[in-house]
Amino acid sequence: MRRPLAVAVLTVCFVVLAIQLDRPEARCLLFAGFESTTDFGRGDQLDASQPETPSPTVTVLVAACEIPAGQPLGPDNCILTERQTTDLPDGVLTSPSQIEGRFAESRLFPGDVVTTSKLRTAIGVFIPKGMRVRTVAVTLTNAQQGRIRPGDVIDLAVTYETRSPEGGLTERTKTFAQNVEVFATDTRPPHEGDGTETTETLNLTLLVTPTRANLMKLAERLGEICMTRHRKGDES
**Could you tell me the residue ranges of all domains in the chain?**
2-48, 57-120, 128-230
How do residues 204-232 score in pLDDT, each as one tens digit? 889 999 999 999 999 999 999 988 887 66
In this prediction, residue 55 carries a pLDDT of 80
End-to-end C-alpha distance for the chain, whole angstroms: 80
Residue with the bigger pLDDT between 212 and 13: it is 212
Architecture of the structural domain at 57-120: Alpha-Beta Complex (3.90)
58 contact partners, CB below 8 Å, separation of at least 6: 82, 83, 85, 88, 92, 94
Question: Mean of the per-residue pLDDT values for the chain?
Answer: 76
How do residues 155-180 score in pLDDT, each as one tens digit? 999 999 998 888 888 999 999 999 99
Fold topology of 128-230: Thrombin, subunit H (2.40.10)
Do 57-120 and 128-230 come out as alike in CATH topology?
no
In this prediction, residue 112 carries a pLDDT of 94
- Tell whether the model's pLDDT for residue 107 goes beyond 50: yes
Helix, strand, coil percentages, rounded to 5, for the chain: 30, 35, 35
pTM: 0.47
- Tell whether the model's pLDDT for residue 16 goes beyond 60: no
Q: Which of 145, 155, 134 is nearest to 229 (CA)?
A: 155
